[in-house]
Amino acid sequence: MSRPTERLADRAGADADIGSSAATGARERVVRLAETVTVTRTEDGLRLFRGVDSLRIKGPADALLVAANQLRAGISWVELMDRPSRSPMRQMERRLRSIGWIVEHDRDHGAGTSTERQVGYLTLFGADAVTMQRRLDSARVGVLGVGAVGSVLAQHLVGSGVRRLWLVDHDRVALNNLNRQFLAGRSDVGGAKTAVAARALRRLAPSLQVHRVDRQIRAAEELDALPANLDLLAIAADTPWDIVSIAWEWARPRGVPICVAAVGLGTGYWGPLLVPGLGHCWGCFERLRQAELTGPDALAEFDQGEATPYSFGPANTVVSALLAHEAVRYLASGECGVLNERRIIRFAENRMSYFSGSHCTCGASQDSVASMASPHTSHTSAPLEDR
């Protein structure tokens, strides 16, 4: 199991404010299909879908469908084991379990809470949705920059169950922020962004512990106001221009993962999410990325120059929410789609491209060794519809 998962698992269940399932162990063990799996009968068996994945099971369709429906309803482990090992039910259960499509958690876990509809969704990221929800409930996240990107991210973090946030910003809400920063309203103009965001987020979750750090960050030591045991530090600020380097300099020795997103004119990116223990390195990521920029990618480069004064709410929300999707998935499961990887979207062409970093070769990463170096890959654009 990867280090981030272990790290996150340490705190799982520390302070869940969702319905406790501590009694689950004492109850009868029940196995069933993950909530996100759907089943369709075909001529020669069944076809099962989960998200964009599908699985074909060949055999007598009627018998398989009965077995699938019983699995969907849930079957006790004892009853399952009573069936012959080669029965359709047992065979299907083994196959589905091997790919993580079988779950054993309480179907109504979290009932009556704001995240009750999310627990089933989390089965897209792994079999143990309850543990993943507990990780979210107990996660500690820093958001550096509570502007366009940070406010959308913070909103989704809290929506997903995160209850410990550190918000870092020195700026105040301006009238022209209100086209994209929806944690603030007209009456908040002039207020500190951290205070305005904290107030709005507490309306979502009264139990939220939100810590404000009202300062501009120009050097790594200025981040010492943050706890060293954060599960994730999101960099959602665009000044100073080397803010990601500064944040990584603080985060790497403390083992704190970071993630990044930014929005430009007609374009934006989310990722990478870098985990210090996995040989990731911001310096190496940037060096390689800039060395490989060609054609439209080079033209679209906007994060090293002056930040654009122009903004468009929908573009901002989309890119920030895509970062939030990956950040929440990482906090829940230790995995995500932008580990050491960046996704870039260009709205006019409706195209997305991505860039993968290599392992650290500069020696800055503590676990960087020659044998870990893997060939990087850079990919050309593909139409968004195909993803």
Q: Which parts of this chain interact with Zn ion (CB under 5 A)?
A: 281, 283-284, 360, 362, 364
- Distances, alpha carbon 262 to alpha carbons 65, 290, 361, in Å: 47, 16, 26
What is the smallest separation between the CB atom of 224 and Zn ion, expressed in angstroms?
23
* Residue 283 beta carbon to Zn ion: minimum distance, rounded to whole angstroms: 5
31 versus 364: smaller Cβ distance to Zn ion: 364
Helix axes 148-160 and 313-333, enclosed angle (nearest 10): 40
How many residues are listed for the chain in this entry? Answer: 387
Nearer to Zn ion, 166 or 248 (CB): 248
Shortest spacing between CB 238 and Zn ion, in angstroms: 23
CB of 232 to Zn ion, least distance (A): 20
Helix (H, G, I), strand (E, B) or coil at 38: strand
Please give the Cα distance from 320 to 269 (Å, whole number): 9
CB of residue 240 to Zn ion, shortest distance in Å: 21
CB-wise, 177 or 358, nearer to Zn ion?
A: 358
DSSP collapsed to 3 states, 272-290? EEECHHHCCCHHHHHHHHH
| Distance separating alpha carbons of residues 6 and 333, to the nearest angstrom | 10
- 23 CB-near residues (< 8 Å, 6+ apart): none
| Residue 163 token pair | 């209850």
Distance CA 28, CA 90 (A): 18
Identify which of residues 212 and 359 has a Cβ nearer to Zn ion in the complex: 359
Q: Which is nearer to Zn ion, 14 or 362 (CB)?
A: 362
Put the strands of the sheet holding 164-168 in their side by side order.
Answer: 209-213, 164-168, 140-144, 232-235, 258-263, 267-274, 341-346, 351-356, 382-383
Q: Smallest gap, in angstroms, from Cβ of residue 288 to Zn ion?
A: 10
Nearer to Zn ion, 269 or 282 (CB): 282
Q: Which residue's Cβ lies closest to Zn ion? A: 281
- Of 55 and 364, CB closest to Zn ion: 364
Rounded to a whole number of angstroms, the minimum distance from the CB of residue 275 to Zn ion is 14
Q: Which secondary structure element, helix H or strand E, spans residue 168, and what is its range?
A: strand 164-168
Q: How far is the CB of 376 from Zn ion (least distance, A)?
A: 12
For Zn ion, the closer of residues 274 and 284 by Cβ is: 284
Q: What is the DSSP letter of 37?
A: E
